[in-house]
Amino acid sequence: MPNLAQRIEAGLAQNYLSEDCADPADVKWGRLRQIEQSSDFGEVYKDKLENKLKSYVSLMPDTVRALGQLELDLPSYSERADIRRKLADRIEQDVMPLHRARWLEKYPTRLRTARLSGLFGMRRETGRPIVYWDSKAGLSRLCPDDAREEAQRLKRRVMDPLEEAQAKGAQLTYAVFTTPNVKAGELLSGMQAIYRRFKRLLAKRNGDGELLFPQIKGALCVLEAPLGSRRDWNVHLNVILQTRGFLDWKALRAEWHWNVELRRLPRAPGALGGALAELIKYAVTAVAVKSADHAEAESPAPPMLEWSGEEMREWLCAFHGFRRTRTYGELYRVKTPPADDVGPIVWLGRVEFRGGVYRHRVPLLDSIPEDKSRPAMTPLERYRDLMRLLAAPPDLVRAIRSARM
């Protein structure tokens, strides 16, 4: 086996993590290779944060902390995986006998096979854990994990334009536009109607040809349509209005005719982020998650997993291909920013869903040789013991080793 100096020399000519490869298969191979190398005590890797070779062992403290955070998250991962499984069962057993569309037939398999395994890594800049899943459902309206990611993408898309408008003097108002509940069998028409009504509201003019509400310069709308307590559909729009000048709320409510809840957003730090989180929570997060969260709440509205097969069929068909998030005016077609750069990542293990729970395996934690003559120690304790040994004077090291023999 080559010594440490030879490994370092070889490492200078090799990038252990080839993230710039054009072929995704090569990228995944590079990540798997790094996980394998981390299990070999004394092995080194090319650290892109510091742009130098480092020993995997030096990552032990940060890895333990990142793994601790991952372990806190895994129970929630398991709960969301259970939601995917239950939804797949309901769709397969209760919906598909009523509707055999090709797109629907794929849903159960996509939900059951999503996020069963992935690679665990650590962001070098922050020390936070990250998991790259081998497969995802790609169903943001059903998969709770996909919904969370979709929510983050929407927030990243609109945050900068809204903050810029607010900084230039625009007012931001959070609003909920409602209409009477839609009876069973008319969900899609109700969804289409409320958006037509909102678009007409923005474009409506008075007898002189002037806009009724010229103060509204832009709007971000997201539609939600949960099943109501009377087994009808509660179709409504959650909206952030971007305005300039005085907007007459009374006149706006009168023109809409049905109820409109309005709340001015302050310019205080964090106010916009909180409003977007509220907006996205109700409009973008998968209905399945809300159903699971509210299954035992006092509200009589039935959770999705308690809907009938026909109710699920109507909801799935209505939302298939329907744009539930829409923008108007100055917010129309704002540019999507590039994906967040998480910085360099070192890949350290795998996460797998087995027996109804997520489990992890991190070879680095077992790479430090264990002293058989001493009580069992945790990986971090073995690392600290090793560091104390390496920092000790040579005579003391020899004495320690002699005492252990």
DSSP collapsed to 3 states, 42-72: CCEEEECCCCEEEEHHHHHHHHHHHHHHHHH
Q: Is the pLDDT of residue 284 over 50?
A: no
Q: What's the pLDDT tens digit per position in 59-118?
A: 888 998 999 999 999 999 999 999 999 999 999 999 999 998 999 999 999 999 999 999
CA angle 343, 78, 324 (to 5 degrees): 70
Q: Is the pLDDT of residue 285 over 50?
A: no
Cα torsion angle, 338, 342, 347, 353, sign: negative
pTM for this one? 0.82
Burial of 215 (0-12, 13-18, 19+ CB in 10 A): middle
pLDDT above 90 covers a percentage of the chain that reads: 57
Q: What is the dihedral of CA 307, 313, 316, 320, to 10 degrees?
A: -170
Q: What's the pLDDT tens digit per position in 243-266?
A: 999 999 999 999 999 999 999 999
Band (341; pLDDT cuts 50, 70, 90): confident
Which residue, chain included where needed, has tokens 């793994």? 67
Residue 58 pLDDT? 86
- What letter does residue 244 receive in the DSSP assignment? -
What average pLDDT score do residues 372-379 get? 60
Q: Is the pLDDT of residue 120 over 70?
A: yes
What average pLDDT score do residues 266-292 get? 69
Q: Is the pLDDT of residue 57 over 60?
A: yes
Q: Is the pLDDT of residue 288 over 70?
A: no
Residue 9 pLDDT? 41
Residue ranges of domains in the chain, CATH in brackets: 1-125+344-367 (no CATH), 144-329 (3.30.70.1910), 374-405 (no CATH)
Residue 404 pLDDT? 46
- Calpha distance 284→223 (Å, rounded): 8
Q: Is the pLDDT of residue 303 over 80?
A: yes
Band (1; pLDDT cuts 50, 70, 90): very low
Q: Is the pLDDT of residue 237 over 70?
A: yes
Residue 260 pLDDT? 97
Q: Is the pLDDT of residue 216 over 90?
A: yes
Beta bridge partners of 352: 117, 359
Q: Is the pLDDT of residue 18 over 60?
A: no
Coil, strand or helix at 358: strand
Q: Is the pLDDT of residue 327 over 90?
A: yes
- Calpha distance 234→282 (Å, rounded): 13
Coil, strand or helix at 239: strand
Mean pLDDT of the chain: 84
Band (46; pLDDT cuts 50, 70, 90): confident
